[in-house]
Structure 1
Amino acid sequence: MNQSSLSSSPPVDIIVPTRGRGELITTTIASIRTLRDVHFTLWVIDQSDDDRTEQCVRRHALEDPRICYRRTPTVGASTARNLGVSLGQAPFILFTDDDCYVHPAWASSMLAELRKPSIWAVFGRVLPATHGGENATVLRGGTVAIKPVQEAQVYRGNRLDLSFGHGASMGVRRERMVQLGGFDELLGAGGPLHSWEDRDVGYRILAAGGQIAYTPAAVIYHRQWRDWDAIRRVFRGYAIGAGASASKYVRCGDPVGVAIFTEWMFSQGLRQAFSAILKWRSWPKLQVALEQFVYPWYGFVQGFRYPVDRTHCLYRTGVQPTEVVQAH
């Protein structure tokens, strides 16, 4: 490790939410332990119903004091992330998932962008995993949560362009996360309104006048282990979350929500349908695309079941949201 680079690097909290994955998280933690030129604390927030993940993480924690484990009875990836934020104190926060592993330069590359005062959040490059044959189940046209773009980009102003990346490789400045009110706990895997929490954070950053960086230098690898039934469930969750998010934006007085709703059905419905037919010739992929015309409407209507905090453009859960501590 480059000691001079490490001594000049500010501390970073890395947060990994997990639920019911058992030993799968071992590869994630092992890769994070190889990170170069960054002073980090890893927070594993475990929402599992069994002890398999806890046993795995605690083995790593005994070997590496940078690893902190927290068990919580809560449900939902966004709730877990907010809890992780509240436990740490570092000025910069990185997020990844328990079915990913990171390149040794991932954190330092993310941090290089976050240290720019104008940047509120950063997203990194996400590639299909190839470690240990883990891409053996990749289906034709069936990759999930991939961002292979090789050109850096800064997003500002345009709330319709939410193509900056995925929560599997995401970083934020702590004071900006506090300003935003954290993740929307009704969105995200395990939440009642399903996925889209990462795009929702990006939308709220852009709406508040902040900037988002995408850096291809920060690379992680996402395991593609799902079959077509699981892929359909994932994209169904995206569609519900997109509709619920658009519903929230409209109720908060932003008509761009209607455009986001329409764009989703065009890009993920119509465009993916043509891709399924003309490029992949895949009936399962076409089924996924056709559902994108239906489930956003379901999410849009479901959103009206919940009150909205217009100050932060967050759904209210009816209970006190997970605490997000003030920046130090």
Structure 2
Amino acid sequence: MSDLPTSSVVISTRDRGELLRDAIASVLAGSHLPDELVVVDQSRVHGELSVEPGAAHTEIRHIASATKGLGRSRNIGIAAARHDVVVIIDDDVVVEADWLEQVLRALVAAGPRAVVTGRILPGVDEANAGRAVSVKTDERPETHEGRIGFDVLFGNNMAFRRSVTEEIGLFDERLGPGGRYGSADDNDFGFRLLEAGYRIHYAPQAVLRHLAWRSGKDLRKLNWDYGRGQGAFYAKHSSLRDPHMLWRLGDLLRERAVRIGGRPARRRSIGGHGDLVYSAGALSAFAEWLVVERLLPAAKTVRR
């Protein structure tokens, strides 16, 4: 009998059937199997979920949803999960054989007021000139608590107890891929965890690989979306009374400006320079959030 807690692994997917099959297969080939695998499928066309036999221990649930957005998908999966520990990955990863066992052991060791995020290595190049994004390759464990000036939670490799969301809430569905602001749903979740007194523990022994299927214009759009999400995240938590996020925005723009200045002039066009695209996205979403999410709702409240 295992000494590990029961767990639900949640995978969000949209229109990436082949990648999803590889992700599921890697989880079910592990040395320790989840009690439940919840697949939240936002694909435009929902097909049957193809799963190789041999995972009798794991209940597999396929939730077809007409919704859109990674934050919304994760929230659906968390709400549907039937076990105390929720483990989240994306559909474009493959996990190592002992990944789940290592995640759960790290969570138990870290204590009840902790969340675990694992190591993310770049996968093989599935696209011509493809590049993996959102990787974390450090080999030393880390523990973060309190207010820090950087983001440490990776949403495609994380585990927490259900009680966490009962205290701090679910993912902000305005943030993240498919939302109005195209990323930083995990950064926002991580910031709220730390503000609530939780610790975020990085467990490098819990390894998965993030596949490199994006290239060309996919990466340019991703820079824009990443910038917009980060700018919106900063705006959400910004205040003149608490300038922490204003300082972080300033630091980000200065860092990107230095990188832009260090590149050859021929690579500084908006269309081809990732740092310019990212910075423009961050500034546009920061301003948009303040107007759309803060000023307009406040004005409507006053008129009532």
TM-score (norm 2): 0.87
Matched, 1:109 2:102: yes
Q: Give the match's secondary structure for 2:35.
A: strand
- Could you say which residue in structure 1 is the equivalent of 2:120? 126
Matched, 1:76 2:69: yes
Candidates 4, 11, 17, aligned match of 2:6: 11
Distance across 2 between alignment mates of 1:32 and 1:63 = 10
How far off its partner does 1:77 sit? 0.5
How has the CA–CA distance of structure 1 residues 112 and 264 changed in structure 2, closer, same or farther, with 3 Å as cutoff?
A: farther
Distance across 2 between alignment mates of 1:216 and 1:266 = 30
Candidates 251, 257, 264, aligned match of 1:270: 257
TM-score (norm 1): 0.81
Task: Give the residue type in structure 2 aligned to 1:26.
Answer: R
Matched, 1:152 2:141: yes
How far off its partner does 1:34 sit? 1.4
How far off its partner does 1:307 sit? 4.1
Which shifted more, 59-68 or 20-29? 59-68
Matched, 1:98 2:91: yes
Would the aligned equivalents of 1:249 and 1:255 in 2 still touch at CA under 8 Å? Answer: no
Candidates 21, 30, 37, aligned match of 1:35: 30
Task: Give the residue type in structure 2 aligned to 1:256.
Answer: H
- Could you say which residue in structure 2 is the equivalent of 1:23? 18
How has the CA–CA distance of structure 1 residues 214 and 59 changed in structure 2, closer, same or farther, with 3 Å as cutoff?
A: closer
Post-superposition Cα deviations, 1:278-318, rounded to whole Å, max 9, x if no partner, equal xxx9779960011222111111122135446xxxxxx9xxx
How has the CA–CA distance of structure 1 residues 160 and 76 changed in structure 2, closer, same or farther, with 3 Å as cutoff?
A: same
- Could you say which residue in structure 1 is the equivalent of 2:302? none
Distance across 2 between alignment mates of 1:123 and 1:50 = 32
Post-superposition Cα deviations, 1:123-162, rounded to whole Å, max 9, x if no partner, equal 11111113xxx456345xx541111111110011133121
Equivalences, count: 292
- Could you say which residue in structure 1 is the equivalent of 2:301? none
Distance across 2 between alignment mates of 1:63 and 1:112 = 21
Distance across 2 between alignment mates of 1:201 and 1:160 = 15
- Could you say which residue in structure 1 is the equivalent of 2:188? 200
Task: Give the residue type in structure 2 aligned to 1:235.
Answer: N
Matches within 5 A, 1:1-328: 4=1, 7-51=2-46, 54-55=47-48, 57-60=49-52, 64=56, 65-115=58-108, 116-130=110-124, 134-135=125-126, 137-139=128-130, 142-162=131-151, 164-250=152-238, 254-267=242-255, 269-270=256-257, 272-273=259-260, 287-307=273-293
Structure 1 unaligned regions, length at least 5: 309-314, 316-328
Structure 2 unaligned regions, length at least 5: 298-304
RMSD: 2.7
